[in-house]
Amino acid sequence: MADIKIIGGHGKIALLLAPLLNERGDSVTSIIRNPEHADDVRASGAEPLVLDVENADRGEISQAIEGADAVVFTAGAGGGNPDRTYAVDRDAAIRAMEAAAEAGVNRFVLVSYLGAGPDHGVSEDSAFYPYAEAKAAADVALRESKLDWTILMPGALTLDDPSGTIDPAAIRTEKNAGTARANVAQVAAAALANPASIRQNIAFTDGSVPIDVALNAL
């Protein structure tokens, strides 16, 4: 049994991930900003912990995740406000990495997106630019850390039912298949249990390769 802390615990992926972890016997704590979301988190099989990571300092985050075997960072500002995008998707993510190192939590899984990176190619006049920049910075910081990291890089997210199969050879194009959030949750759960995923960037969309097969081939 592992002790897993999910940051961004009321997000759609987090609410799908928590029951997968709970069902296999892991202990799950979901860190949320809004206390009104606590019941939703409990219904997913996780224990809620209220902490606004956008404004929390490294020490507060470190205290919240202390004793965990792994952290999954799924928090995001949701777009629309560049300042908040940088504050959550970049700054809070990097503080969480630093907090994990401080707390001795070596395993860190970050949800990014397919095509993320310093060479993302998004125009500065695009509304997507702050998100692309924030994710690029967070991804680079995690890769340069000493943590046992995994970066999940799914394609455009959908609410489709889980298939349990992905395309691990996906690269970002305008015609990418979508990626079910439920499949992202399954990949996150599988990655946490599979050492082959450590220090790996896992780019994928929905596809035909069973998730365990894809991860074992890393």
Catalytic residues: 131
Under 8 Å between Cβ of 205 and 178: yes
How far apart (Å, rounded) are the C-alpha atoms in residues 21 and 190? 9
Residues 6+ apart with CB under 8 A from 180: 157, 158, 159, 160, 161, 162, 163, 206
Dig out the tokens for 162 from the structure.
Answer: 């889980």
DSSP 15-64: HHHHHHHHHTT-EEEEEES-GGGHHHHHHTT-EEEE--TTT--HHHHHHH
Q: Residue 204 — φ and ψ, nearest 5°?
A: -165, 160
Beta bridge partners of 49: 31
Dig out the tokens for 35 from the structure.
Answer: 């206390």
